[in-house]
Structure 1
Amino acid sequence: MENKKVTIAGAGLVGSLLACYMAKKGHDVKVYERRPDMRKTTIDGGRSINLALSNRGWKALEGVGVADEVRKMAIPMYGRVMHSREGELTNQPYGLNGEAIYSVSRGGLNALLMDEAEKHSNVSIDFDQQCTRVNLETAEASFKSYSTKEITKVEGDLLFGTDGAFSAVRSSMVKTDRFNYSQQYIEHGYKELSIPANADGTHKMEKEALHIWPRGSYMLIALPNPDGSFTCTLFFANEGETSFETVNTLEKARAFFKEHFADALELMTNFDEEWENNPVSSLVIIRCFPWSKNGKVALLGDASHAIVPFYGQGMNSGFEDCTVLEEIMSQHGDDWNTILKEFETQRKPDADAIADLAMRNFVEMRDLTGNADFLLRKKIEAKFSRNNPGKWIPLYSMVTFSDIRYSDALKEGQRQDRIMEEVMAMPDIHQNWEDPKVETKILELLGKY
């Protein structure tokens, strides 16, 4: 493979990982990041949303040899702990065989990947650089320094836009003929809060779990951190009767939490300060196509397929972009037109599928995790899967604990829905769910659907 001059716009999670992959292939890589270097300056808080690292992400990290380092900063979460309004707890394991997803700090992981990228002599990262212009024909890009206002024109063979949901590289592509683009804000936003550690540094709740307070149209979640704290996120409608619009003072917020999240509020010793100071942030879904132009410019990660965070797959799907691209590069040598065409054609259906799955999981988390029918369905599925491992992989396991394509997982999940609707309609299913007739019924329906 011929060495190329590669420009990457965006040194976030996907951009930093992509730089590692490109450097390993021997390319000369220049990365330009709009923000200051997070390793040297404090980035404004309140927007992190802790990340849930799962199989697809681990595979990508192993591909550049950093998985072991990341494991040192990650906390396994073996299941959900649901908190009722009365403070009662219900546990639901994530996997059938003790699998876990891993809570990891966005900033900590990003810094580690930047460090790893810079270990390569053929990688440089420049910060405070705003992408102001892109030439889609030549892969030339211009970057303006926030401090000096100087504009740098960067020539290269390839330009990758990994610059997030509001990508400057994509904005150049939007203006071209037959480029499809949609941007959808969901009705919910989020505010980040926290539960500090105990005085001795231990966690105030079960450490190895993702905590959920499901409340129908809204929810609170909490993910553990290595320092004993939890990062909490309230997902709440932006407008309406019960929303950020109406719960608009600290007094109202305290009263609301006391009524709906009392056990969490008791642990949130910084609630007042965080409610007042942490912003309400929006959640957006980005879909576009094509993802490449002229065999020279391409989009990866949120720049091409931003999704909502409810399946914990935003980072994982962006990391999987890197592994899929690397696999295709290995097949086609220097034929970048073929590489980028094949990449976008393969990944687009999967990006659309995980966007749909993420919204589906939002409804599941906020509405269903406290629902008796839902919990029973999960028990039946888990039992059947254990007894018939080749015939049934639960949808969550397909998405989170395998590298089955998202588009295939979505189709199989829809088939499973049709089967389980009939199973849950069986007479007295709550009393008879362990009856062998239930397993027989599922086997029969697998043949039908």
Structure 2
Amino acid sequence: MQKQKKIAIVGSGLVGTLLGIYLKKRGHIVHVYDRSPDIRKINFTGRSINLVLSDRGVKALRDVGLDQEVLGIGIPVEKRAIHTGLDTVNEQYYGKDGEVIYSLSRGLLNKKMVDLAEKAGVEFFFEEKVWDVDLTTATISIGDSERGEWTTHDYDLTFGADGAFSRIRHKMQRQSMFNYSQEFLNIGYKELNIPANADGTHKLDKNSLHIWPRGNYMLMALANLDGSFTCTLFMPHDGENSFESLKTKEQLVDFFANHFPDTKEVIPNLVEDFFKNPTSYLVTMKCFPWTFSDKVALIGDACHAIVPFYGHGMNAGFEDITVLEQMMDQYGDDWANLLNDYENSRKPNADAIAELSYRNFMEMSSKTADANFLLQKKIEKWFSDKHPQLWIPLYSRVTFSHQPYAEALAIGDRQNEIMQEVLKMENIHQNWDTIEVENKILELLKA
């Protein structure tokens, strides 16, 4: 058992609340601050992408006995349903039988996590704006405005779990030798909605991630418990086929009729949702170091915000906590070395999942409609089923295992090189499941 510390967590999102539960179970006094109102008392709609929970996130929840609580508000998703035309849907299973990810409403999950953290004894302070932290003492400063009067609150340790535009990181950036970068995609997103049928059932298969891939833009949909789907339209901010190009009702209706014709009957409030909901931005943020002595540490999006195309922002943040917990077991009260090993362990893996997430946009928006890509996935699954000890597909390494992201990325790159050679074989589209193909892969693996 560690000696009790008084710990502040800035940010009451998913990572901040779960971290609070972990620290409270270790006997610490935990206060969570958030500048926003209590999410349980507001209507959370209009700028959301449904979350997907996979094995890494499930493990972090299971380790504190909360996995069943959270899975109870999720919907298992076993495959992609790729809508390539008016009546054409290709299905692509994520893994082996029984391997699923879980679709979760961000707002519903965040409310659940705050409830669970309060039940564990974590104390929350909503509508409290943290403007500054003293890196040498962990003291935080709170006030109504950045240039107004502040009050200070003393802590032994402060965690910044306050997202991609973290105030805690902002203070850390003023140090010498602090590296920081952010890169916005020219792709934005907008929330749309598929309502439930009159009897409360889903209009589409609820156990699929639905994708309408159209090159540099796409539509996707994930199911909710109430029979609805949260849809997300990803498009460039400007140029042809962009948010900027859809300024009138007529332009929007024509665009969907031409590019997403099979959604006409399932998105009845297209015009209202499109012009009501904001267009949001996508950013990748990297920084280092993540900690200062034994006093301040960053976690989750505050130190590694990524784009959402692999569905691992939350899972990577939850895995931060798993690693931090391992370090607490190893180092006990030696917080300086504990935090140092935490950041050095996680940094290369955070960079790897950022790269994977960026690449997956190209896969989802373009390659899922490409015959060679679909064949590659089919061959990989076939070979993996025959030689599970020799070949685990990249998606399975990332989503259904706890292998470090950096290792999964490196192995995935090598596997892709092999598959590009296989796809060059004569008549591969007809002979993909033959002994010749099997031997070719075995030969390339040895090389």
Please indicate, yes or no, whether the TM-score normalized by the shorter chain is above 0.5: yes
Write the distance in 2 (CA, Å) between the matches of 1:57 and 1:318: 8
Secondary structure of 2:429's counterpart equals helix
2:436 maps to what in 1? 437
Write the distance in 1 (CA, Å) between the matches of 2:292 and 2:249: 49
RMSD: 1.1
Report matched runs for 1:202-351 at 5 Å. 202-351=201-350
How many Å apart are 1:221 and its aligned residue?
Answer: 0.1
Secondary structure of 2:354's counterpart equals helix
CA displacement 1:380-416 (0-9 Å, x = unmatched): 0001101101100000000000000000000000100
1:91 maps to what in 2? 91
1:57 maps to what in 2? 57
Q: TM (normalized to structure 2)?
A: 0.98
Q: TM (normalized to structure 1)?
A: 0.97
2:394 maps to what in 1? 395
2:118 maps to what in 1? 118
Indicate conservation of the 8 Å contact 1:287/1:304, yes or no: yes
Write the distance in 2 (CA, Å) between the matches of 1:434 and 1:424: 12
Indicate conservation of the 8 Å contact 1:17/1:319, yes or no: yes
Write the distance in 1 (CA, Å) between the matches of 2:291 and 2:5: 17
How many Å apart are 1:150 and its aligned residue?
Answer: 7.0
How many Å apart are 1:68 and its aligned residue?
Answer: 0.7
Write the distance in 1 (CA, Å) between the matches of 2:249 and 2:132: 43
1:154 maps to what in 2? 153
236-245 vs 168-177, which moves further: 236-245
CA displacement 1:22-49 (0-9 Å, x = unmatched): 0011000011011100111224x21111
1:188 maps to what in 2? 187
How many Å apart are 1:145 and its aligned residue?
Answer: 4.7
Secondary structure of 1:430's counterpart equals coil
User: How many residue pairs get matched?
Assistant: 444
Write the distance in 1 (CA, Å) between the matches of 2:189 and 2:330: 42
Residue identity over aligned pairs, in percent, reads 54
1:384 maps to what in 2? 383
Write the distance in 1 (CA, Å) between the matches of 2:48 and 2:67: 21
CA displacement 1:201-254 (0-9 Å, x = unmatched): 000011110000000111000000111101000000001122111122222111
60-69 vs 214-223, which moves further: 60-69
* Structure 2 residue 441 is matched with structure 1 residue 447: no
CA displacement 1:270-324 (0-9 Å, x = unmatched): 1121011000000000000000012210000000000000000000000100111
1:42 maps to what in 2? 43
Seen in structure 2, the aligned counterparts of structure 1 residues 270 and 150 have a Cα distance that, compared at 3 Å, is farther
Write the distance in 1 (CA, Å) between the matches of 2:57 and 2:263: 30
Secondary structure of 2:263's counterpart equals helix
Indicate conservation of the 8 Å contact 1:38/1:111, yes or no: yes
How many Å apart are 1:134 and its aligned residue?
Answer: 0.9
How many Å apart are 1:66 and its aligned residue?
Answer: 1.2
**Letter of the 1:55 counterpart:** D
How many Å apart are 1:359 and its aligned residue?
Answer: 0.8
**Letter of the 1:264 counterpart:** T
Indicate conservation of the 8 Å contact 1:250/1:275, yes or no: no
1:4 maps to what in 2? 5
* Structure 2 residue 52 is matched with structure 1 residue 19: no
Write the distance in 1 (CA, Å) between the matches of 2:19 and 2:144: 23
Write the distance in 1 (CA, Å) between the matches of 2:191 and 2:42: 20
How many Å apart are 1:98 and its aligned residue?
Answer: 3.2
How many Å apart are 1:120 and its aligned residue?
Answer: 2.6
Give the 4+ runs in structure 1 shifted more than 2 A.
Answer: 149-152
Write the distance in 2 (CA, Å) between the matches of 1:151 and 1:115: 29
**Letter of the 2:341 counterpart:** E
How many Å apart are 1:437 and its aligned residue?
Answer: 0.7
Indicate conservation of the 8 Å contact 1:56/1:400, yes or no: yes
CA displacement 1:178-223 (0-9 Å, x = unmatched): 0000010001000100100000000001111000000011100000
Could you tell me which runs of 5 or more consecutive residues in structure 2 were left unpaired when the two chains were aligned: none
Secondary structure of 2:152's counterpart equals strand
**Letter of the 2:197 counterpart:** N
Secondary structure of 1:269's counterpart equals coil
* Structure 2 residue 415 is matched with structure 1 residue 411: no
Could you tell me which runs of 5 or more consecutive residues in structure 1 were left unpaired when the two chains were aligned: none
Seen in structure 2, the aligned counterparts of structure 1 residues 105 and 150 have a Cα distance that, compared at 3 Å, is farther
Secondary structure of 1:324's counterpart equals helix
1:81 maps to what in 2? 81
Secondary structure of 1:352's counterpart equals helix
